[in-house]
Amino acid sequence: MTDPLLPLRDLARTGGAHVLAADIGGSFIKLAGADASGLPLARASLPNPSGSWPDFVETLRSLADAADPDRALTLALSVAGTIDPDTGASLAANISCITGRSLKRELTQALGRPVEAANDADCFALAEALRGAGRGHRTVFGVILGTGVGGGLIWNGHILEGAGGVSGEWGHGPVLKDRMVAGRIVPAFACGCGQTGCVDASGSARGLERIDLALHPEHAARDSRAIVDAWRAGEAEASLTVDTWLDTLAGPLALVLNTTGAGVVPVGGGLSNAVDLLAALDARLRASILRRSDAPIVKPAELGPEAGLVGAALLGLGAGAN
């Protein structure tokens, strides 16, 4: 049976890692040894025992010690949840065992090595700001458009940490109202956070599907890929859906840019793969903000699924922290 940690053990033998980075998701923990620039050299993953703190710690220990048995390197975590910068307390809906715990303090003690941690959207934004589509910009607002809507704000190469660990979360807040579009009501949908009218509920991939069904109830429900494909083919119904979706996102995103002064918006998540869809969003956004720009502002992220690891590695190397 193949050893799942073999790439990390090989890295430990050959050397070259300057930091360890882990992407902590609800289902898997992916850990990499990264070089001095934050780019992963080798990686491995194990299932996340998200309901058991002792098992969670042991899984992290197995991965980290495989790559660095001497425990000389910092381990930095990209976490699908919030981390309060004042108390260190974590809150993660899909990783129940870390909720209420101070990850940095408790894991530093348990693992015998320095530990840093940040929200996954913040790590994504940091990676894109320093190594991806945001290079050269002072203020970068990284956006996630996938099953949900998230974001992270980077200023002068540092993560902007908010009270309670909340910042960049433009997907939540009751900002949308019921709208009449082509004689149909597009409602302000209920959001998983408990509010109604959040951008997350309408601007995500699931939101695109909800808008399509609200506008065209006579048709069978279809997923976001089918809607985008139909839009590309010139279908009138899909064009109305996408136009409504663009309006849903462009207004709130314009408010974010006018408030923060962000010069670029790298976009990750599943919908970022539709480059033409992002170009349409960029055009709608640039028509809605106060400053004028002939250059694109909304750009596809460059680092793909590695962004969380790269951002965590940069954090562990001392970048991004305040």
Query: Are 88 and 43 found together in one domain?
Result: yes
Asked if residue 6 has pLDDT above 90, the reply is yes
pLDDT digits (tens, 9 = 90+) for 128-151: 999 999 999 999 999 999 999 999
Within a 13 Å sphere around the CA of 224, how many CA atoms are in the beta-carbon half? 20
Residue 189's CB: how many other CB atoms inside 10 A? 18
Which percentage of the chain shows pLDDT scores above 70? 99
pLDDT tens profile 301-316: 999 999 999 999 999 9
The alpha-helical segments, DSSP class H, found in the chain are 6-14, 53-67, 103-111, 120-131, 199-203, 205-215, 224-232, 236-260, 275-286, 307-316
Q: Which domain holds residue 149?
A: 136-301
Distance, CA of 103 to CA of 21 (rounded, Å): 14
pTM for this prediction: 0.95
How many distinct structural domains can be found in the chain?
2
Q: Are residues 115 and 226 in the same domain?
A: no
Q: Residue 321's pLDDT band (boundaries 50, 70, 90)?
A: low
102 with 159, same domain: the answer is no
Q: Do 71 and 210 fall into the same domain?
A: no
Would 128 be classed as within a structural domain? no
User: Is 256 inside any structural domain?
Assistant: yes
pLDDT tens, position by position, 211-227: 999 999 999 999 999 99
pLDDT, tens only, 117-133: 999 999 999 999 999 99
Please indicate, yes or no, whether residues 148 and 290 belong to a single structural domain of this protein: yes
Residue 321 belongs to a domain: no
Position 129 in a domain:
no
| CATH of residue 209 | 3.30.420.40
Same domain, 292 and 310: no
Q: Residues 141, 168: contact at Cβ < 8 Å?
A: yes
In a domain, 131, yes or no: no
